[in-house]
């Protein structure tokens, strides 16, 4: 992975060393690092993984933090930001729900002298000081390569492939699509695959994904592969396939290595997922935030071009990993997945068979 250069370690520093890190008049007790998560529905990760990992990293650094979730409410997202800025936040980390909302928050933070980090999702034209995320085009490429392998294993000839993209307001969803289309489009062009229905799913909503894929399958019953942009969309797709007795025979991709995604892989209903190790992502973002909180100016190796503004944002990039039934044990071995949670009830035997 591409790491951060010239950042002090996270441990061993007390709040006494952090007083007045950005020349403010607030007491050290009031100066915190603020974090705004987007929701608890587009992915389990925001509440169950990112939040505790960030809390742990800030606690290890001895730096106070304020981590809140906007629960999918854009107005609430801005209200939380206003409250954090007014409360003397030195650094603001945000996961944008959409770029206009994220930009409004980043503009306010900049006007107040608060340093900013786009976490996981880039806010288009937002002008954040830093961005921490995975190589999201690589995520999409892994999905397409995984789907291709699964379709080859089924020995389908010229299969119809449907695509459920993520939210059109999430730049990551665009990058995922750029990645998987770079693999799939040449296959369509050579008539090795047939391009089927292709639709975006607002806010990554699984209920909408169910309705979208149900309509896709009604219109094109010969769909033989589904590029679903994350595990939530995959689970919705699999639900529709089950209702038609097609689960397992139609490969479906995913992303995030969620509990449902891993369980669907164990049953054979999902072809693969993409594992993005959230702990190092959270630790990298925390390291940046702590350095900024202390008045340092971290140096990052890579720059990412904002496709809307054309500006370059210092970018801490992490690498994703494709997960199939063959290597599913990896996400348990590194402590990402909880065996007790995934391997419950009917999944106990399947977990044993997979060596978990």
Q: What is the DSSP string of 286-325?
A: HHHHHHHHTT---EESEEEE-TTT--EEEEEEE--EEE-T
Question: Which residue is listed with tokens 């006494």?
Answer: 16
Residue 253 has pLDDT above 60, yes or no: yes
Q: CA separation (Å) from 315 to 5, 155, 299, 333?
A: 12, 41, 10, 28
Residue 268 has pLDDT above 60, yes or no: yes
Q: Using a cut of 0.85, tell me whether the model's pTM lies above it.
A: yes
Backbone φ/ψ region at 134: left (φ over 0), alpha (ψ -120 to 50), beta:
beta
Question: Which residue is listed with tokens 């592969």?
Answer: 225
What confidence tens digit (pLDDT) does each residue in 11-52 have? 333 333 333 334 333 444 457 999 999 999 888 899 999 999
Q: What is the DSSP string of 81-138?
A: HHHHHHTT-SEEEE--SSHHHHHHHHHHHHHTT-EEEEESS--TT---SEEEEE-HHH
Helices (H) and strands (E) in the chain, counts: 13, 14
Residue 195 has pLDDT above 90, yes or no: yes
* Residues 285, 310: Cα–Cα separation, whole Å: 23
Q: How confident is the model at residue 66 (pLDDT cuts 50, 70, 90)?
A: very high
pLDDT at 121: 97
| Mean of the per-residue pLDDT values of the chain | 92
Section 294-307 average pLDDT: 95
Residue 171 has pLDDT above 90, yes or no: yes
Section 104-124 average pLDDT: 98
pLDDT at 30: 54
Q: Are strands 160-165 and 130-134 parallel, antiparallel or unpaired?
A: unpaired
Lowest pLDDT segment from 4-8, 104-108, 262-266: 4-8
Residue 76 has pLDDT above 50, yes or no: yes
Lowest pLDDT segment from 5-9, 13-17, 35-39, 176-180: 13-17
Residue 4 has pLDDT above 80, yes or no: no
Section 237-264 average pLDDT: 97
What confidence tens digit (pLDDT) does each residue in 204-228 have? 999 999 999 999 999 999 999 999 9
Domains within the chain, CATH numbers bracketed: 4-134+277-318 (3.40.50.2300), 136-275+321-353 (3.40.50.2300)
Q: Where are the alpha helices (DSSP H) in 136-205?
A: 136-154, 171-189
Section 323-347 average pLDDT: 96
Section 283-308 average pLDDT: 96
% of the chain with per-residue pLDDT over 70: 92
Question: Which residue is listed with tokens 């139609």?
Answer: 250
């Amino acid at each position: 992975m591409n790491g951060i250069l010239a950042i002090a370690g996270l441990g061993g520093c007390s709040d006494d060393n952090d007083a007045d890190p950005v020349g403010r008049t607030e007491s050290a007790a009031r100066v915190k690092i603020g974090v705004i998560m987007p929701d608890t529905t587009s992915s389990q990760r925001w509440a169950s993984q990112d939040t505790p990992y960030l809390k742990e990293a800030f606690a290890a650094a001895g730096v106070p933090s304020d981590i809140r979730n906007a629960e999918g409410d854009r107005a609430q997202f801005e209200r939380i930001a206003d409250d954090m800025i007014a409360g003397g936040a030195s650094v603001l980390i945000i996961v944008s729900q959409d770029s206009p909302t994220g930009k409004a928050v980043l503009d306010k933070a900049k006007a107040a002298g608060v340093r900013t980090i786009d976490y996981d999702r880039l806010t288009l034209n937002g002008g954040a000081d830093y961005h921490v995320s995975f190589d999201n085009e690589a995520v999409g490429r892994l999905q397409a390569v995984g789907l291709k392998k699964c379709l080859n294993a089924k020995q389908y000839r010229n299969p119809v492939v449907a695509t459920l993209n993520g939210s059109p307001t999430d730049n990551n969803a665009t990058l995922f699509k750029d990645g998987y289309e770079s693999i799939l489009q040449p296959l369509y062009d050579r008539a090795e695959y047939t391009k089927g229905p292709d639709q975006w799913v607002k806010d990554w909503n699984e209920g909408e994904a169910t309705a979208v894929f149900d309509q896709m399958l009604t219109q094109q019953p010969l769909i033989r592969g589904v590029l679903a942009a994350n595990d939530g969309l995959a689970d919705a797709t699999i639900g529709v396939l089950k209702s038609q007795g097609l689960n397992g025979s139609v490969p479906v991709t995913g992303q995030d290595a969620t509990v449902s995604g891993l369980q669907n892989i164990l049953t054979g209903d999902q072809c693969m997922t993409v594992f993005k190790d959230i702990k190092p992502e959270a630790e990298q973002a925390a390291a940046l935030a702590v350095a900024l909180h202390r008045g340092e100016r971290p140096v990052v190796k890579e720059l990412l071009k904002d496709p809307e503004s054309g500006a370059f944002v210092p970018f801490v990039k992490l690498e994703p990993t494709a997960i199939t039934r063959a290597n599913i044990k990896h996400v348990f071995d590194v402590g990402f997945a909880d065996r007790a949670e995934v391997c419950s009830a009917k999944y106990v035997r399947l977990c044993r068979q997979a060596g978990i």
